Structure 1
Amino acid sequence: MPEVIFPGPEGRLEGRYHPQKERDAPIAIILHPHPQFGGTMNHIIVHRMHYAFYNMGFTVLRFNFRGVGRSQGEYDQGIGELSDAASALDYLQSMNNNSKHCWVAGFSFGAWIGMQLLMRRPEITGFISVAPPANMYDFSFLAPCPSSGLVINGTADRVAPPSDTEALVSKLHEQKGITITHEQVEGAGHFFEEPHLDTLIETTTDYVKRRLTETSR
């Protein structure tokens, strides 16, 4: 899988780009957890999500937010990181301008950034939001949420309590024209330690495959 360096708002961003042979393959970007708490593009959940999408036929890009790894810049409270994600999507689209489907997946802080990216980019057709920290960040910008997606969390999550995730999902359920699917992994903590990580990937894969089947009819 080629390492890539692409331009971001504050300098170079470091990523891993995994293309398919098909020129019209769907595309996905994967967003990592909080940069100040050890979050990188090589986090196990991000890594497994990357390969899950690739194995479903997606061309995939994961990358380090500013100030992480070889990405230039400094942590910017989520504001700059959202701009980084938009630049990553620009780069991915520039390499795959025949793609008909565009997905974004994020874990924890990355889920918050991913949901904001949804609001900026109407071409995003689906999302995966893993353990969104609804207790730490304001998600009220999702009004209305522009596309259907999957929210998945663990019932034993002490970082982002399930009650806050359920409240977020219930608000999203009130919106018309989209479908928010909510799955909870019994006994899983915030980081989906084994064996829960396999369940997370299986649940994500089942959901994305179902969505792709529905849109191809």
Structure 2
Amino acid sequence: MEHTDPPIRVRNYRESDETAWVRTRVLAFLDTSYRDDVQMYRERYENPSVRLVAEDTSSRQLVGLMDIEYENKPGEVCNFTGERGGIIWHLAVLPEYRNVGIAQKLWEEALVQLEGAGIHRLQVWTQDDEPANHWYVARGFELKHSYLNVFARGFIDKGPLNELLVGADKTWEFGHIRNLNFEADSSQRERLEALSYRIHEVRGYELDLKKVLPSS
């Protein structure tokens, strides 16, 4: 039987999409390093934003999403000196709908809206999921920053937490500290691997949209 791609429509997010948006985000993140970043709501942005969803028109199901918040004034969201920019907060596609160009469709529509808003610089922060990193690099994003996202657990008076929390009180007002999540410099990876059960490299990318927008 010949394979056919699902009929996908990219459109602006509607407030009535919130429940489906949350579901899509959760399911899309379950097989990634962001699997514990679960939320039961959709955040609101203080600045203007591009908020897109991808819908399978045959089932009316949301299958992908993309959120980009951008600035009215430089420095409100990003750290580009003297230039307005935007940051990609969310890009997600359901596992069963990947590798058929849905993220690219979302990206193409986002570029149109960003150009209309006069935004020419973008930032994105992701972790070490290689498919996500490959996707951004393939679209011209350049790696600019990195640090470690470290997870450790145990008891404060023995094991990894005892070594990590040197000088900390062995008892705490509310009980035992069982889990610790913290950021660290990438140079500390070898040492921290022995003291943690999970480490991810967080990577910050930047893109000059003038290099990819056809009319620029």
Q: Specify the TM-score bucket, using the shorter chain as the normaliser.
A: 0.3 to 0.5
TM-score normalised over the length of structure 1: 0.33
TM-score normalised over the length of structure 2: 0.34
Larger strand percent: 2
The structure that has the greater radius of gyration is 2
